[in-house]
């Protein structure tokens, strides 16, 4: 049976063939095509061309690739009027005793942040000012920060680029071990 390339029947047949091929390759090339019955029944009740074009465009549309754009460093999060926090005055390089957070900025405008590898003096500064340096909406910790403990990131915090700053969306979780 022949169909015109612009017909809804052809569009439906193409969709079925594409789905079968996708299923075949997702199963590692194992199995067989079993959709011949669904093809015959699908061509009896064709979809409108506009519905099929919408589903084809949706299936073809690639997801944006998220790549690491740059890494910045911040000392203390700034409290905003809405009780959220933001990292401002970001530095290109880690500042000894001043940098508390390492912020990875991605091409899609999202960010992830974690604590820097704090040296002995920076650890003491952080410990003495932990409520200011890591408020609960910025991060949470378990264990006690000592001069020789490990800082283990359980979950990186999430943020979004806001001009030249980073707005914090989700807090990080760390463990001092």
pLDDT, tens digit (0-9, with 9 covering 90-100), for 78-128 = 999 998 999 999 999 998 888 999 999 999 999 999 999 888 888 998 999
* Number of residues assigned to the chain: 177
50, 76: one domain: no
CB-facing half-sphere around the CA of 139: CA atoms within 13 A? 30
Stretch (H or E) spanning 12: helix 8-26
Same domain, 34 and 108: no
Same domain, 80 and 157: yes
| Residue 49 in domain | yes
What integer pLDDT is reported at residue 34 of this predicted model? 52
Which pLDDT value is given to residue 80? 93
Total domains in the fold of the chain: 2
Q: Is residue 3 part of a domain?
A: no
Integer-rounded Cα Rg, in Å, for the chain is: 27
Same domain as 73, residue 30: no
Residues 18 and 74 in one domain: no
Instruction: Name the domain boundary from 60, 76, 94.
Output: 60
Torsion of CA 35, 40, 41, 43, to 10 degrees: 120
Residues 148 and 125 in one domain: yes
CB of 88 within 8 A of CB of 141? no
**Own/partner long-range contacts of 156-163 (Cβ < 8 Å, ≥24 apart):** 156/112, 156/113, 156/114, 157/112, 157/113, 157/114, 158/110, 158/111, 158/112, 158/113, 159/87, 159/103, 159/110, 159/111, 159/112, 159/113, 160/109, 160/110, 160/111, 161/105, 161/109, 161/110, 161/111, 162/86
Q: Same structural domain for residues 74 and 151?
A: yes
Give dist(CA 145, CA 141) in Å, integer: 9
Q: Are 101 and 25 contained in the same domain?
A: no
- 2 found inside a domain: no
Flag whether 1 is in a domain. no
Residue ranges of E strands in 4-150 = 68-74, 78-79, 85-87, 101-106, 110-115, 139-142
Same domain? For 117 and 37 the reply is no
User: 74 and 156 in one domain?
Assistant: yes
Query: Do 112 and 25 sit in the same domain of this protein?
Result: no
Shared domain for 35 and 112, answered yes or no, is no
Reported pTM: 0.63
Q: Tell me which residue range forms the domain holding 105.
A: 68-176
Task: Determine the Cα–Cα distance for residues 3 and 115; give it in Å rounded to an integer.
Answer: 62
List of the chain residues with pLDDT < 50: 35-37, 39, 42-43, 45-49
Asked if residue 101 belongs to a domain, the reply is yes
Hey, which residues does 112 pair with through a beta bridge? 104, 158
């Amino acid at each position: 049976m022949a169909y015109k390339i612009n017909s809804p029947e052809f569009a439906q047949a193409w969709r079925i063939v594409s789905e079968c091929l996708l299923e075949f390759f997702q199963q590692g090339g194992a199995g067989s095509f079993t959709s011949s019955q669904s093809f015959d029944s699908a061509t009896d009740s064709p979809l409108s061309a506009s519905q099929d074009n919408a589903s084809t465009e949706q299936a073809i549309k690639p997801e944006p690739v998220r790549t690491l754009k740059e890494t910045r460093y911040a000392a203390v999060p700034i409290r905003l009027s809405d009780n959220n926090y933001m990292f401002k005055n970001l530095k290109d390089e880690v500042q000894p005793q001043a940098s508390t957070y390492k912020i990875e900025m991605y091409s899609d405008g999202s960010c992830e942040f974690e604590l820097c590898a704090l040296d002995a003096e920076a650890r003491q500064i952080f410990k003495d000012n932990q409520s200011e340096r890591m408020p609960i909406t910025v991060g949470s910790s378990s264990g006690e920060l000592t001069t020789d403990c490990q800082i283990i990131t359980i979950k990186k915090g999430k943020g979004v680029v806001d001009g030249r700053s980073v707005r914090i969306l989700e807090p990080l979780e760390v463990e001092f071990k």
